[in-house]
Copies of this chain bind each other. A is one copy, B any other.
Amino acid sequence: MARTTDRAQRGGHSGVSIEDVAAAAGVSTATVSRAVRGLPRVSPATREKILGIAADLGYVASSSASGLATGRTKTIGVLAPFVSRWFFSKAIEGSDRQLHARQYNLSLFNLGGHGSNRERLFSKTMVYKQIDALLVLCMALTHEEIEHLQKIDIPLIVVGGHVEECPYIGIDDYAAAATAVRHLIDLGHTEIALLHGDDETDLNFDVPRVRIQGFQDVMAEAGLNVRKEWDEWGDFTVRSGQDAFHRLWDRPGPKPTAIFCASDEMAMGIIFEATRAGVKIPEDLSVIGIDDHDFSEAMGLTTVRQRPDEQAELATKMLLDELDGIAGSVHSMLAPHELIVRTTTAPPRGAEAAARKGAAPETLIPRAGRP
* CB of A148 to closest CB in B, whole Å: 8
A17 to chain B, nearest CB (A): 10
Query: A63 is contacted by which of B73, B103, B238 (Cβ under 8 Å)?
Result: B73
Instruction: Decide: A97 and B113 in contact? CB cutoff 8 A.
Output: yes
State the CA gap A366–B71 with chains docked (Å).
56
Measured CA separation A364–B360 after assembly (Å): 9
Residues on B with beta carbons closer than 8 Å to the beta carbon of A110: 92-93, 96, 100, 106
A178–B235 Cα distance when bound, in Å, is: 37
Query: What chain B residues lie within 8 Å of A151 (beta carbons)?
Result: 58
Given contacts A14-B153, A93-B82, A153-B14, contact A61 B369 (CB under 8 A): no
The 8 Å CB contact of A83, one of B92, B130, B276, B366, is B92
Could you tell me which residues of chain A, from 339 to 370, have a CB within 8 Å of some CB in chain B? 342-344, 360-370
Give how many A residues have a beta carbon under 8 Å from the other chain's beta carbons: 88
Assess the A63–B298 pair: CB atoms within 8 A.
no
Chain B residues near A271: list those with CB within 8 A: 365
Most B CB atoms within 10 A — which of A82, A271, A298? Answer: A298
**Residues of the B chain whose Cβ atoms lie less than 8 Å from the Cβ of A47:** none
Residues of B within 8 A of A344 (CB): 366
Within 8 A of B (CB), among A7-50: 11-15
CB pair B238 A294 closer than 8 Å: yes
Q: Is A268 an interface residue (CB 8 A)?
A: yes
**Chain B residues within 8 Å of A278, by CB:** 361, 363
Please determine whether B67 and A368 come into contact, CB atoms closer than 8 angstroms.
no
Partner of A11, one of B71, B96, B124: B71
A282 at interface by CB-CB < 8 Å: yes
- What 1/0 flags go to A65-89 for Cβ under 8 Å of B? 1011011011100000011111001
Contact call A112/B93, Cβ cutoff below 8 A:
yes
Query: Please, which residues of chain B bring their CB within 8 A of the CB of A269?
Result: 298
The answer, yes or no, to whether A305 is at the interface (CB within 8 Å) is: no
Q: Which residues of B contact A130 (CB under 8 A)?
A: 63, 105
Cα distance A86–B83 in the bound complex, in angstroms: 10
Given A60-B125, A84-B89, A299:B272 Cβ within 8 A = yes
State whether A90 touches B100 (Cβ < 8 A).
no
Complex contact A105–B83 (CB within 8 A): no
The complex places the Cα of A107 from the Cα of B13 at a distance, in Å, of 20
Min CB distance A278 to B, Å, is 6
* Complex CA distance for A92 and B364, rounded to whole angstroms: 35
Contact, CB under 8 Å: A364 / B280: yes
Q: Is A242 part of the binding interface, using a Cβ–Cβ cutoff of 8 Å?
A: yes
* A281 on the B face (CB < 8 A): yes
What is the distance, in angstroms, from A302's C-beta to the closest C-beta of chain B?
9
Report the separation of the CA atoms of residues A327 and B191 in the bound assembly, to the nearest whole angstrom.
66
User: When chains A and B are docked, how far (Å) is the Cα of A109 from the Cα of B108?
Assistant: 10
Q: Is A64 an interface residue (CB 8 A)?
A: yes
Contact B297 A370 (CB under 8 A): yes
- Select from chain B the residue with minimum beta-carbon distance to A91: B84
Q: List A residues at the B interface (Cβ < 8 Å).
A: 11-15, 58, 60-65, 67-68, 70-71, 73-75, 82-86, 89-90, 92-93, 96-97, 100, 103, 105-110, 112-114, 123-126, 128-130, 148, 151-153, 237-239, 242, 268-269, 271-272, 275-278, 280-282, 294-295, 297-301, 342-344, 360-370
**9 closest A-B pairs by CB:** A300-B368, A64-B67, A13-B71, A84-B89, A343-B366, A360-B366, A11-B71, A275-B363, A64-B68
